[in-house]
Amino acid sequence: MAAPQTPKPRSAQFNELYRRLCGEVDAPTLVVLLYSALDRGRLEAIYNHAAPREGARAQMLGKEELVGAVGGWFFASLDVAHAVVRDLDRVCLKERHIVASLPDGKIAERLQGYQALDFRRERARLTWALLRDDRSEAQRLAGELIQELVDSMRTSAPASGPAGAEDDARVQALKQRLDAYESQVNEARGQLQGLEGRVAQLERERAELMVAVGRKENALRAEERLRREAEAAAQRAERRLRELEEQRAAGDPGAIQRLTEERDRLAHKLRHLEKKGRAALDLEALRAENEQLQQRLADLEQQAQVARGEHQSLLQTLVVRDRATQERLTRLRDALKTARRMALTSDEEALPRPPRREERVGLFVDAANAGASALRACGRQFDFGSVLDLVGERERAVAIAYVVDNGQPGFEKFAHALREMGYTVKVKRPSQRPDGTVKADWDMALAMDVIEARHRVDSVLIVSGDGDFVPLVRRLKRWRKRVEVAAFEHAIHPELRRTADAFWPLDINATT
């Protein structure tokens, strides 16, 4: 079964989907989904499309502020909601196909082995894929994952004793702030909808007045035309009467009789034209009524402008509140993470695992990181053979080198030399982002290979000083794997060094 396509904007299918999402996802949950699943480029595109001209530019805002603004507009604008649903459907296409392919009654069982759930972005994308699935089991599982996303700080490793109680208190305080923020958003949303309804009513009244003014102006133009025609006919009749009077004075009695009859006929016609002329005098009354309508129209336009100003002021206030709330949430999260990291670090450093000769070792070398560190430390090339000596007498079960091909001459010779040493070489070419920057890191691929190989090794040796590997090291230690890190002293992240079971400092002997 294929994943459903994104409905067209303002279609009945999209309106139904929007009502269902608003019932299942509240503002804090949507903020977590957007922050985890969408990158900054997509958020900036949505923000630039929806933000008012006088609003702040997307490039001047942090990602938290972008997420807060887009999350608030999602519940107030169908156009923003469609853009958010469209972009989430695009970035979660793989996960949506996975969920759609799972049979009924087996979704939760199959997803237990989905290893990408260990990472927040993949978990958020899978949550969106489950939300987009119409089956009740998928909806139930989406609710559980949503709860895990919002409370992700609880699920990292429960602390015990006073530290755990303090963390629970901070988490409770954070939840109360989230509830207060959601209440403010709902109140502002109600005021916003009221103002939008008032603006729409004023616009309808303005349109009706414009139609009435148009009809009056058409009537005025018609009456003016009739008046001019009546005046012209009266002038012609007066000229004809003068001519007839002149002819009567110079004519015979029969001609005078005929002229008299024609005069009476013309006089009757003149009276008829004068009656029309008097009707044309009503033009003044019509003009006065038209001026009143114009004044009423100006008053309505002024009221509409005031309502628009209130609407814009309320929207800006909502954005400022959202920004302040996001900053407070970020500070609370950082404080909780620091407390839990200190608790975990103290536990892990208290129970280091010594190496054993019979251990199977998995060696994973971030070649770009190690090479750049060697050039900065010694101005020389990194010696990949010296890293193999760190395994010692233990069994080397896996040895992978992650290298980047920048198109420089001699790369194939370099890769061949690594293979001769016993490495499995994985090569990546740099990719260019839409903003012109270049990306060629191996962090995600290295982490996935370590997770995949964890059943074949007892110890993991990572040659990199990148602090992004701290969550991976902690997860491996919870799986009861010994973790060693090798890096240059100037390039090792302090948290990575504290978390590992052993640290191998590299020096000039690791360069050639």
| CA within 13 Å, CB half, 294 | 9
Top-confidence residue, 331 or 374: 374
Asked whether residue 131 carries a pLDDT value surpassing 70, the answer given is yes
Asked whether residue 456 carries a pLDDT value surpassing 70, the answer given is yes
| SS3 assignment, position 398 | strand
**Mean pLDDT of all residues in 70-78:** 87
Domain boundaries 158-351, CATH class:
mainly alpha
Top-confidence residue, 89 or 324: 89
Asked which of 255-259, 433-437, 473-477 is least confident by mean pLDDT, the reply is: 433-437
CA 102 to CA 486: how far, in whole Å? 42
Asked whether residue 69 carries a pLDDT value surpassing 60, the answer given is yes
**Mean pLDDT of all residues in 27-55:** 84
CA 292 to CA 313: how far, in whole Å? 32
CATH topology of domain 353-510: Rossmann fold (3.40.50)
Q: How many other CB atoms sit within 10 Å of the CB of residue 492?
A: 21
Mean pLDDT of the chain: 80
**Residue-wise burial string across 112-121, b where 16 or more C-beta atoms lie within 10 A, e elsewhere:** eeeebeebbe
| Chain centroid to CA 159 | 34
Per the CB < 8 A criterion, the answer to whether 387 and 507 are in contact is no
Give me the residue spans of the domains in the chain: 12-150, 158-351, 353-510
Q: Which residues pair with 483 in a beta bridge?
A: 460
